[in-house]
Amino acid sequence: MLDNDLKGKIALVTGSSRGLGRQYALDLARAGADVIIHDVSANAAAQFGEAPSGEAVADEIRSLGRRSAFLTADLTCPDQIQTFTEQAINQFGQIDILVNNAGGDIGAKTPRPDPNNAIDIKVEDIQAVLNLNLLNVMCMCKYMGAHMRSRRTGKIINVGSAAGHVPAAAGIIYASAKAAISHYTLCLGAELRPYDVNVNCIAPAATYTGRFKATRTESDNVFNQEGLSRLQKVANPEDMSKIVLFLASSQADYLTGETIVCREK
């Protein structure tokens, strides 16, 4: 019987003290997995009021009867990624599920690049966005993929964005990085196929997270959803988390190299 039972599995979700990552982590724990919580710092969770701290989210996982730990690392630094992955493996013995959730359209010195098109964007913002959204995924997959390859089992779930599958007028570097994750997923899925490691990607639609709400205004037309169908509305975190849970479960055992693109248009 196919189900979402993840008992005995150990999951690591990057950027999971807040936003979509926190929802993914909680739902993986509810399905039975022990979950490692991560963010760049202990207080990052409080930035948009979604949790008091990273350790508080780990406590939420423990309250569900699962093991958890909160680990910090700057995933724009490859050396920190290597240390972080080694720490996670050493502390829990193995990693069965990796969700590469950390990312965002964040400038080097500003909440979002400004300007945020292809021509006028600052070079430092191009580097910042690529490091946060593409380099971190590739390095996480390098180290965790080697671990899973040696064990001949594992699920890697990369997180892209629906923005990477439509023409973008703003956030072009971010959208391009997310599009690259889809192709990287296809390639890595083929590389790890002989080792029974599944690699898939979810490209979430716009979703009501703390950061999303804080960086939009009424003029963005994302708060009034009256008259729209369920599939046209801005998503809730639970909507995206159900898909991650599917990819982590036995229901996706024969799926690899694929991207599930969620669109509201």
- What the block records as the tokens of 105 is 């359209």
The DSSP line for 12-77 is EETT-SSHHHHHHHHHHHHTT-EEEEEESSTTGGGGGTS-S-HHHHHHHHHHTT--EEEEE--TTS
Q: What is the pLDDT at residue 2?
A: 45
What's the rounded mean pLDDT across residues 183-207?
Answer: 97
What's the rounded mean pLDDT across residues 197-208?
Answer: 95
CA distance 104 to 257: 22
pTM above 0.85, yes or no: yes
In sequence order, the 6+-apart residues with CB closer than 8 A to the CB of 87 are 71
Q: Across all residues in the chain, what is the average pLDDT?
A: 94
- Residue 157 predicted with pLDDT over 50: yes
224 versus 77: which is more confidently predicted? 77
- Residue 221 predicted with pLDDT over 80: no
Contact 112, 215 (CB under 8 A): yes
CA distance 88 to 73: 11
- Residue 164's closest CA among 128, 202, 126? 202
- Residue 248 predicted with pLDDT over 80: yes
**pLDDT of 10-39, one tens digit each?**
999 999 999 999 999 999 999 999 999 999
Tell me the torsion sign for CA atoms 120, 123, 126, 132.
negative
What value, to the nearest 5°, has the Cα angle with vertex 160 and ends 156 and 165? 135
CA distance 183 to 181: 6
Q: What are the structural domains of the chain?
A: 10-101+129-261 (3.40.50.720)
- Residue 251 predicted with pLDDT over 70: yes
Q: With pLDDT > 70 as the criterion, what percentage of the chain qualifies?
A: 98
Contact 227, 213 (CB under 8 A): no
Query: Is 174 one of the annotated active-site residues of the chain?
Result: yes
In sequence order, the 6+-apart residues with CB closer than 8 A to the CB of 189 are 198, 199, 200, 256, 257, 258
- Residue 98 predicted with pLDDT over 90: yes
* Ranges 38-42, 130-134, 232-236: which has the least confidence: 232-236
Of 24, 143, 174, 208, which residue is the catalytic one? 174
Residue whose tokens read 């391009």:
176
Q: Chain centroid to CA 253: how far?
A: 20
What's the rounded mean pLDDT across residues 84-89?
Answer: 98
Q: How far is CA 208 from CA 28, 69, 125, 160, 248, in A?
A: 20, 26, 25, 16, 23
Q: What is the pLDDT at residue 219?
A: 64
Q: With pLDDT > 90 as the criterion, what percentage of the chain qualifies?
A: 85
